[in-house]
Amino acid sequence: MSVAKPIPPALLRWAQNVVGPVHLVRDVSHERANSLVWHLSCATGKVFAKVAPDAASFARDTRALREVAPGMEPGTAPLLLAADPLQQALLVTPVPGRTAKTLSLTRAEQRALHRQAGRWLRRFHGGTGELSPQDHADAVAEVVRAAAGADNHLGRAGALIAPEGHRTVQWHAAALGRLGPLPAGFIHGDYQERNWLLDTDALARVFGAVDLERARPHAAVADLVPLACGSWVGQPDLQEAFLDGYGRALTAEEQWALRCLCALDAASAISWGAPHGDLEIVARGRATLARLEVQVA
């Protein structure tokens, strides 16, 4: 059982300067050590205070909250109340609903959830004209960086990945490097059911998403990697529903890129998950490589 993390006094004082006296603080951080999030109750309602794990995450989260979240449907994305660069802290509004991963849904409800998730993501990604020339350049650089990172993942994993797995990852990294420009978007960066919320109290079952600290310009298809390696495995109807909500099919180049990015994600998952004792993420990585090895052969 994890031990609740106390809110730093300086963070609480800063939050109270923004929202007024806080009468209840509840730790809602994830299990990982660098997750620092608290639910604060005050006279005006409830807010979340979070400390970013590093400067890059703070910058990404802040930009997404300032530039992208306000353009989403009301109540479907957190809104920024205040940011403190010195503490790398953010104060944000809550998004109504329960985490989708905790809900017991029928098959039809699961398809409806993924259709809503696709619709939300298309709006978050934005249109081509909403990205600056620098954003497009950054998106290309992210793909190049992903391909180049294969050797680092494999080096850290070592014997945790069998020789055929090494070859699979290297093959897909090389294939990714040969692809031309891919449709770009402002991606969420961790788009999976643990970050999806569904407000089941609303008649329309309103969908929302949180945790924007990995949001950045990238190939739009990069946001589908957690789903392709997780929820969609063996469930093509969920992928079909998602893309229906997204409003377009993947291009041939994006389909290749998704396979390649999944291989790189698998190597990353194994190299990180094993030393950190995360057996679930290691198993996911191994299963992904096994599927891709068969396809390569």
Summarize pLDDT for 116-145 with one digit per residue, the tens: 999 999 999 987 668 999 999 999 999 999
Residues 115 and 22 in one domain: no
Q: For residue 264, give the nearest of 234, 221, 209, 207 by alpha carbon.
A: 221
Low-confidence ranges of the chain (pLDDT < 50): 1
Q: Which residues contact 189 (CB under 8 A, 6 or more apart)?
A: 60, 212, 213, 214, 215, 216, 218, 222, 223
Q: Evaluate whether residue 218 is within a structural domain.
A: yes
The H or E element that residue 9 is part of is helix 9-19
| Final residue before a domain boundary, out of 92, 122, 157 | 92
What's the pLDDT at 4?
83
Phi, psi (deg, nearest 5) at residue 39: -95, 120
Strand blocks (E) in the chain: 22-27, 36-42, 45-51, 80-84, 89-92, 98-99, 184-187, 196-199, 206-209, 216-219
Residue whose entry in the numeric block shows the structure tokens 């530039």:
67
Residues 238 and 163 in one domain: yes
What's the pLDDT at 297?
56
- Please tell me the distance from the alpha carbon of residue 67 to that of residue 204, in angstroms, as a whole number: 26
Q: Evaluate whether residue 121 is within a structural domain.
A: yes
Residues 183 and 280 in one domain: yes
What's the pLDDT at 130?
84
- pTM for this prediction: 0.93
Helix-strand-coil split of the chain, %, nearest 5: 55, 15, 30
The three-state (H, E, C) secondary structure of 123-174, written as one string: HHHCCHHHCCHHHHHHHHHHHHHHHHCHHHHHHHHHHHCCHHHHHHHHHHHH
End-to-end CA distance of the chain: 43
CATH number at residue 33: 3.30.200.20
What's the pLDDT at 35?
86
> Helix, strand, or coil here: 239?
helix
Residues 75 and 111 in one domain: no
Residue whose entry in the numeric block shows the structure tokens 């998952």:
269
Residues 145 and 76 in one domain: no
Residues 144 and 33 in one domain: no
What's the pLDDT at 34?
79
What's the pLDDT at 2?
63
User: Where in the sequence is the domain holding 180, given as residue range(s)?
Assistant: 98-296
Q: Which residues contact 14 (CB under 8 A, 6 or more apart)?
A: 82, 84, 87, 89, 91
- Please tell me the distance from the alpha carbon of residue 63 to that of residue 265, in angstroms, as a whole number: 25
Residues 130 and 183 in one domain: yes
Residues 43 and 61 in one domain: yes
| Final residue before a domain boundary, out of 92, 107, 122 | 92
